[in-house]
Structure 1
Amino acid sequence: MNPTRRTVLMAGAAAALLPSAPAFAAIPKADAAATPPYASYWYPDSFPSGTPGSGITWRSLKSWTAAGDADLAFNAASVPLATRFTPTQANATARSGQARVQSLVSFGPTASNPSQGAATADYYALTHWAYMDELVFWGGSSGEGLILAPNAPIVDAAHRHGVPVLGNIFLPPTAYGGQLQWTRDLVQKDSAGHYPLAAQLVAVAAAYGFDGWFVNAETSGGNTALGADMLGFVKELKALAVARGQRVTWYDSMTVNGTVSWQGALNTQNQAFFQAADDMFVDFRWSTSTLASSGQKAVDLGRSRYELWAGVDVESNGSNSSVSWDAIVPSTKAHVTSIGLYRPEWTRNHLPASRTPGDFHAADDRFWTGRSLDPSRPDTTDPWRAPAVSVADRSTVGSLPFASVFNTGHGLRWYDGGAVTSDAAWNHLGVQDLLPSRRWAVHTSGQRPAATFDFADAWRGGSSVLVAGVLDAPTVLEVYATQLPISVNTVVELTYKVDAGDVNVELAVATEEASSPGATPPYTYLPVNSGNGWQTVTVPLTGLSGTVHAIGVRLTGSGETARWRLGGLAVHDAPDTPDTPATPSDFGITAATGGDLRFGWSAAPGAVRHYELHRLLPDGTPRFLGGTGQRAYFVTGLKAEQGEQAARFELRAVGELYTSSAPVTVTHTW
């Protein structure tokens, strides 16, 4: 076991060892303390000796109930898991139906991990969902808690892109404070021989809206009896999980005889656990031969070899890591197993403290797309075999209406209609858009301009797409792979802005797939009117029929440096006015402590993308406070404006086309 794997977990343990969301049928009065909501974590049953450290609350999973969970409304996901499809591959090396990618990510500490984002743009705002098949909300420590439920923003963003999210069960090695009693607590039986904590785990995932559990039992000292109990527990957990549409992943750690012995392979020591679960993370000790034998054993057991995640530790070196890629995803024959990325948030963590969102996305694009930064033309000499080189991207853009403002889920300020409505930095992945899957595929016979998410200006949210460089030949930027039906009323709305240079814009629409992997889709180019500043142009798909398979833009310049921004894109069948969501109800302040407030409300009927909360200043100017998919929100540090006796707040529901409902308001007396 590599010591760097436990960096975050050890830090939390050391600090601690020193001395479906409920509806608000009626909003209670604000007579309770407004405490910040945090992502939930538990011990199976018993606690460590002593008392918890500052900011840590010890909780027992065995005693958890949804009715008694004061933060459930903040932590329950709102977006169902979307269905994905696979377009023609972006390049000739990416495979469909072979290796998949699992990511084990620590988004924050075990304790005091905010439920709904925070007032900073410095966050691991994952955007390359198209290459991922499973996300594990990694964490846990002996001094805080061992069982982690992923917070709602992460689940909502992942689900929007079709990626299931698993909570983490971490039974630590004894070197990191693990106690064998916690393993026994987890697999305890009731008088009927059932495993009550298996039922609790499934109930938590159902209430919180995530997709199952990653089981990592690494506490040594067990025996054959404990191994049998663990196997029985995993079997029952899986049986209960299947009934609720959940899944279970097993980590290659405990063996069938109850000892902890990382195999780096699927073999007789762990195959019973693999058979009891949906898939297994193979520890980093694998070799070319053990992965080959593991893949074959999975097939011999009647399972897919791609249900094995070969562990790739990128916590310390990220895209500079040396990996025997041909042992996992050879380029000249079928893939051997899937890929299990351990701690890809290196793309943020390795950067200096002065890092910006742009710095993070540059490193993240390098990690997921490769050195060329273009999945349509991968650099075959790059020693880092990025996921885009081996794995076909997927998309969930398959129904109307569809819209995106290219919001990555964090930003330096908040924009609405191109104007700044809050100058505070923020992060909240729950308001992240459906993002382009292949970033960035650019087709031109001239110089290739750079394409990236940019945070210096936006139409809505915190970011836009910036294309910058010399446009010395017509340049096509692929934006979305889609499966959108076309009717006589279908239109595309394009919101964009020219920062510099002379740029002619055309909408690119393909009604057929690309003819081969890496080829440019067979676009039809439709003219777009030009103007100054942010503008939204509606383009009817006149003369086109069938299905939109790809949407992009073609930019033609004068051969000089240009800067062009894409701020929004929408596809819908055009009525006179887009559907506007209904107004949410029962809006109120559920708890207040000075300038810290908890808000709650009942859901607006119909399709709602998210809710947005504003404070109305004394002159009537709205100041954006936050957006969320949940029916509760926490705001901290508010102060009275000069001469203000009461603060006014308004809440709106936002629809799929970013139309907003009429507001509902509430006041708070200072």
Structure 2
Amino acid sequence: MMKLKHYLLSIITLFTLSVSSWAEINNNRPPFSLTLSQVEQWSPSSKWADKNNISRVDLQPRMLASYDEHSASLDGKVRVLIAPDGMNNFANYLNEQKKFNLYNFTHWSQIDVLNWFAGTANETVSLPSRPWVETAHKNGVKVIGTVYLSVAQYGGSVETVEKLLKKDNQGRFIFADKLITLAQYYGFDGWLINPETNLTLVKNAEGEVIKGKFEYENAARLGKKMQDFMLYLTKNAPSEMEIHWYDSMLLDGSVRWQNQLNEKNIPYFQQENQRFSDAMFINYWWNEDMINASNHLVKQVNRSPYDLYFGADLSPNRNAQRMFEQSNWLYMLFPGSGTKGLSSIALFGNDINYSFGGNEHTKAYSQFKKDKTDYRRFYQAERKLFAGLDGNLDKKDPDGQWPGIGQFVPAKTTLNTLPFRTSFNTGHGFMKAEQGELIAQEWHDISQQDILPTWQFAIIGDDALDIFYDFEQAFSGGNSLALRADKLIQLTTIPLYKTAFVLDNDAQLSVTFKNNATTSSLWIWLDTTENVRIKYPLISDNKQWETLSIDLSQYKGKVIDSIGLMIHGQTGSFSSNIGLVEIR
């Protein structure tokens, strides 16, 4: 049985909203940013702790997601880490902010680890904020904090490293134990140790590096002690916790980026049967020979090549793996057919769709940080990072053009139990809606983000169709999912969610939608594991939100494998919004 409910409500648009907005971002203060002295004094009852930062969402199990033969052939063992540069500058908040244009991320299905990359010479330890941890966990993504030992020229010191490596009278590393306690207390998943302080350099009384003067004996002592620290930390951390090492410091205490796994940096990764870190973040200046040598060596020590995260510095301000401009590095990591990876990937500075303002050779990808109306370009840039320059995950980009991470690494999903509900809410907006009614104006809180489509976006058929998050029309949350075309659309399929939902006797599907032009060509479909497509038309022409309710009891026991949309022979311009999809 199908029922249609009408919402006779006014359309919420951008033009009804207040222009004032503000946010409170805690850049470099507790509970997110801690000095070593604060870490040493930290306890759950100390003034440096905040129970409001404790994540209450457990890490959800994931499964691989494919919608065709190509996506099914991709290497599901490859892991993708993102490290937005300076999370402390735009994500250190606990409560809903009264500002739309703060940094956001939506492609959780395409990554495995979020590194809270932050820190200063003084604030050595950076912890992730609860809203981000909860949303990451909901999507099956781990979050790791950062211990940053700053470059000597920018304030890094031997004294700071010496303090980090301090032991108690029983020979235990005090700060290693504290790091484990912090992650357990707040509910995140581990640490990146980023030791960029060159211990061989000597400073004068003003803290300036003395050119040509070096100290080797103490540097080597601390370099070896750092190795002992890593062994202790990795060994004592719970098995579900990940300890990553950044390719920088060597055993002699110097900092010399190796850009590969080799005999110089492997002491911080693996020696004989001793595991010194769970993963290594490889610096950016690598080539094909370095990848192959690393792959050979990692197997020699009986470790997985996927424990090596080859870094990709996406910033246009540098010339390593500039986003969209350089793609050869992807083909190095995925040689031949591109379906087998030689390592995992660490995407550094993927926030440049937000934080990069442009330079002499590259225009800004968006001005969203300054101009909240520029949200389309902000989201398009992130989509292109994973789907390729054409923004279509289903379409292979021409040779030499940026192909997108999603051409090489499969998506993953946590959607294996009912109920399921999504309004495609990204966790911020010009306004906030509930049941199509305006309840608040400008806002941002990523913890309120729904589980977003597994594939963003795969358009199979006529790629003249545009699909995007629409922040000018929302049924629930800050946005809806928009579909637009200004000409004839041939048969087009859009897979959205990979699922494993078992329908029971009371199962019901609800879809809230709005057709802004007369159409009878938009359908929602549910595919079963038996290759049966259950589909229903979304027909309306009154330009208001309407809810279609469908009884699914006849499909009791069937397993819903995926959910998507279809446009079947539209004969003119096309404009629809999906405000809510629910199965319960």
1:267-324: CA deviation from partner (whole Å, max 9, x where unpaired): 1111121121111001112221111110111111111111111111112243234542
* Equivalent position SS for 1:324: helix
- In the alignment, the residues of structure 1 paired with residue 251 and residue 473 of structure 2 have an alpha-carbon distance, to the nearest angstrom, of 56
* Equivalent position SS for 1:465: strand
Partner of 2:572 in structure 1?
560
Which 10-residue stretch deviates more, 68-77 or 359-368?
68-77
Q: How far off is 1:540 after superposition? A: 2.2
Q: How far off is 1:452 after superposition? A: 0.8
Q: How far off is 1:354 after superposition? A: 2.4
> Which amino acid counterpart does residue 166 of structure 1 have in structure 2?
I
1:291 and 2:297 matched: no
Partner of 1:250 in structure 2?
245
Partner of 1:44 in structure 2?
36
Matches within 5 A, 1:229-240: 229-240=225-236
Partner of 1:241 in structure 2?
237
- In the alignment, the residues of structure 2 paired with residue 447 and residue 221 of structure 1 have an alpha-carbon distance, to the nearest angstrom, of 55
CA contact (8 A) 1:74 1:116 kept: no
Partner of 2:494 in structure 1?
477
1:262 and 2:278 matched: no
Partner of 1:450 in structure 2?
466
- In the alignment, the residues of structure 2 paired with residue 220 and residue 322 of structure 1 have an alpha-carbon distance, to the nearest angstrom, of 32
Q: 1:477 to 1:111 in 2, by over 3 A?
A: closer
* Equivalent position SS for 2:132: helix
- In the alignment, the residues of structure 2 paired with residue 529 and residue 146 of structure 1 have an alpha-carbon distance, to the nearest angstrom, of 57
- In the alignment, the residues of structure 2 paired with residue 44 and residue 302 of structure 1 have an alpha-carbon distance, to the nearest angstrom, of 35
Q: How far off is 1:556 after superposition? A: 3.7
Q: How far off is 1:89 after superposition? A: 5.2
1:104 and 2:83 matched: yes
Q: 1:323 to 1:74 in 2, by over 3 A?
A: farther
> Which amino acid counterpart does residue 334 of structure 2 have in structure 1?
V
Partner of 1:81 in structure 2?
59
* Equivalent position SS for 2:331: helix
Q: How far off is 1:557 after superposition? A: 5.7
- In the alignment, the residues of structure 2 paired with residue 114 and residue 38 of structure 1 have an alpha-carbon distance, to the nearest angstrom, of 11
Partner of 1:52 in structure 2?
none
> Which amino acid counterpart does residue 536 of structure 1 have in structure 2?
T
Which 10-residue stretch deviates more, 218-227 or 293-302?
218-227
Q: 1:172 to 1:110 in 2, by over 3 A?
A: farther
- In the alignment, the residues of structure 2 paired with residue 416 and residue 72 of structure 1 have an alpha-carbon distance, to the nearest angstrom, of 31
Q: How far off is 1:38 after superposition? A: 6.3
Partner of 2:164 in structure 1?
186
CA contact (8 A) 1:475 1:555 kept: yes
- After superposition, the CA RMSD in angstroms is 2.3
* Equivalent position SS for 1:538: strand
Which blocks of at least 5 consecutive residues in structure 2 are unaligned? 1-23, 201-218, 271-275, 317-321, 357-365
Which 10-residue stretch deviates more, 107-116 or 186-195?
107-116
**Structure 2 residue corresponding to 1:433, chosen from 442, 450, 457:** 450
- In the alignment, the residues of structure 1 paired with residue 80 and residue 529 of structure 2 have an alpha-carbon distance, to the nearest angstrom, of 28
1:227 and 2:223 matched: yes
Partner of 1:303 in structure 2?
303
* Equivalent position SS for 2:411: coil
> Which amino acid counterpart does residue 339 of structure 1 have in structure 2?
I
**Structure 2 residue corresponding to 1:338, chosen from 338, 344, 350:** 344
Q: How far off is 1:107 after superposition? A: 5.3
**Structure 2 residue corresponding to 1:205, chosen from 173, 176, 183:** 183
> Which amino acid counterpart does residue 464 of structure 1 have in structure 2?
S
Which 10-residue stretch deviates more, 523-532 or 385-394?
523-532
CA contact (8 A) 1:38 1:114 kept: no
Q: How far off is 1:447 after superposition? A: 5.7
Matches within 5 A, 1:148-547: 148-221=126-199, 223-242=219-238, 245-275=240-270, 276-316=276-316, 317-321=322-326, 323-332=328-337, 334-350=340-356, 351-352=366-367, 353-354=370-371, 356-423=374-441, 425-444=442-461, 446=462, 448-469=464-485, 470-512=487-529, 523-528=533-538, 530=540, 532=542, 533-544=544-555, 545-547=557-559
Percent identity, aligned pairs only? 25
CA contact (8 A) 1:281 1:309 kept: yes
CA contact (8 A) 1:466 1:564 kept: yes
Q: How far off is 1:80 after superposition? A: 1.0
* Equivalent position SS for 1:383: coil
**Structure 2 residue corresponding to 1:62, chosen from 19, 35, 40:** 40
- In the alignment, the residues of structure 2 paired with residue 417 and residue 309 of structure 1 have an alpha-carbon distance, to the nearest angstrom, of 44
1:348-372: CA deviation from partner (whole Å, max 9, x where unpaired): 2232332522221011111121122
Q: 1:286 to 1:439 in 2, by over 3 A?
A: same
CA contact (8 A) 2:262 2:294 kept: yes
- In the alignment, the residues of structure 1 paired with residue 346 and residue 458 of structure 2 have an alpha-carbon distance, to the nearest angstrom, of 25
* Count of residues paired in the alignment: 514
CA contact (8 A) 1:447 1:473 kept: no
* Equivalent position SS for 1:248: strand
1:511-555: CA deviation from partner (whole Å, max 9, x where unpaired): 128xxxxxxx75232345646311222222244342100011223
1:60-118: CA deviation from partner (whole Å, max 9, x where unpaired): 21111111246623211121111100123556266133432111113544699333352
1:18-76: CA deviation from partner (whole Å, max 9, x where unpaired): xxxxxxxxxxxxxxxx998965111223xxxxxxxxxxxxxx21111111246623211
Which blocks of at least 5 consecutive residues in structure 1 are unaligned? 1-33, 46-59, 514-520, 573-670
Q: 1:103 to 1:534 in 2, by over 3 A?
A: same
**Structure 1 residue corresponding to 2:102, chosen from 113, 123, 127:** 123
- In the alignment, the residues of structure 2 paired with residue 43 and residue 199 of structure 1 have an alpha-carbon distance, to the nearest angstrom, of 16
TM-score (norm: length of structure 1): 0.73
* Equivalent position SS for 2:225: helix
Q: 1:456 to 1:61 in 2, by over 3 A?
A: same
1:622-644: CA deviation from partner (whole Å, max 9, x where unpaired): xxxxxxxxxxxxxxxxxxxxxxx
> Which amino acid counterpart does residue 337 of structure 1 have in structure 2?
S
Q: 1:456 to 1:38 in 2, by over 3 A?
A: farther
Q: 1:117 to 1:358 in 2, by over 3 A?
A: farther
